[in-house]
Amino acid sequence: MADLPVRLAALALLGAALCAAQPRGRILGGQEAQSRQWPYMASVQVNGTHVCGGFLVAEQWVLSAAHCLEDVPRPNETVKVLLGALSLSEPEPSKRLYDVLRAVPHPGSGPDTIDHDLLLLQLSENATLGPEVKLLPWQREDRDVAADTLCDVAGWGVVSHTGRRPDRLQHLLLRVMDRATCNLRRFHDGTVTKRMMCAESHRRRDTCKGDSGGPLVCNGVAEGVVTSGSRVCGDPKKPGIYTRVGSYTAWIDSVMDGGVASPGDPEGRGPEEQ
């Protein structure tokens, strides 16, 4: 029995290590968003449960991440989009739930890759715009955001190791990391493509899987979409990865205009991008 305190101490350390290694699925170290601060944010919901973020890019279109709905629709599963909300459960005059008429993942996306991780959701009708519901301008030029630029992200991902979900929208400021640095061996080891960008993760401040689909907003413009990755969130050695929307202008415009991406071009690019 003399070694019991030692065993208990070891178990406590092991438990702490496991918790530290599993902070997946939420914005870490964020703050509660204020009214009208994020009027373009969308909650993508399956059977009434929030699964991912998104943002309003046109009156009838929400942009999100393709992996959010990889397993949907299944029988009896319904996808809807909530707009004008800070709280997921409390009554708010601006809140409205919209049916999804069409879900269009990027043709190059898939369960085994984080490439082209974009999804467009067509609402059943135009969103009712107002002070709490607005369109978010998105980057239409295929250019990188300068390193060290401060950008904002938001989401309703879980906020504790026990899986507790916040009812109110959380947001966080993050600093853009140069792609060459992000691709160093000690970080993502060359996996970040020119169509992606990175933001620093440190001091347990980060986005994570539960916030997927939300926008990375730099200087009032959506530059990236939170994507997924096999990583421990909040780890300074694993910066957050985002899909650059400016690299997909032709595909986004084509889908919203009613076009179809060419099967021969898995990246869904227009003629000017090939």
Cα Rg of the chain, angstroms: 19
> Which of 93, 63, 84, 235 is CA-nearest to residue 169?
84
Three-state secondary-structure class, residue 13? helix
List 43, 109, 117, 171, catalytic entry:
117
Q: Is 230 a catalytic residue?
A: no
Instruction: Give the integer Cα–Cα distance in Å for 162 and 185.
Output: 32
Instruction: Give the integer Cα–Cα distance in Å for 75 and 260.
Output: 26
Residue with tokens 């060459």: 180
List 50, 67, 106, 171, catalytic entry:
67
> Which of 174, 123, 124, 125 is CA-nearest to residue 150?
174
Q: What residue spans of 125-198 are helical by DSSP H?
A: 179-182
Instruction: Give the integer Cα–Cα distance in Å for 269 and 261.
Output: 7
Q: Are strands 96-105 and 79-83 parallel, antiparallel or unpaired?
A: antiparallel
Q: Which residues sit opposite 192 in a β-bridge? A: none
List 212, 228, 247, 254, catalytic entry:
212
Distance of CA 101 to the CA centre of its chain: 21
Q: Are strands 170-177 and 96-105 parallel, antiparallel or unpaired?
A: unpaired
Tokens standing for 10?
């070891």
Q: Is 117 a catalytic residue?
A: yes
**143 exposed, middle or buried (CB, 10 Å; 0-12, 13-18, 19+)?**
exposed
Q: How many residues does the chain have?
A: 274
Active-site positions read 67, 117, 212
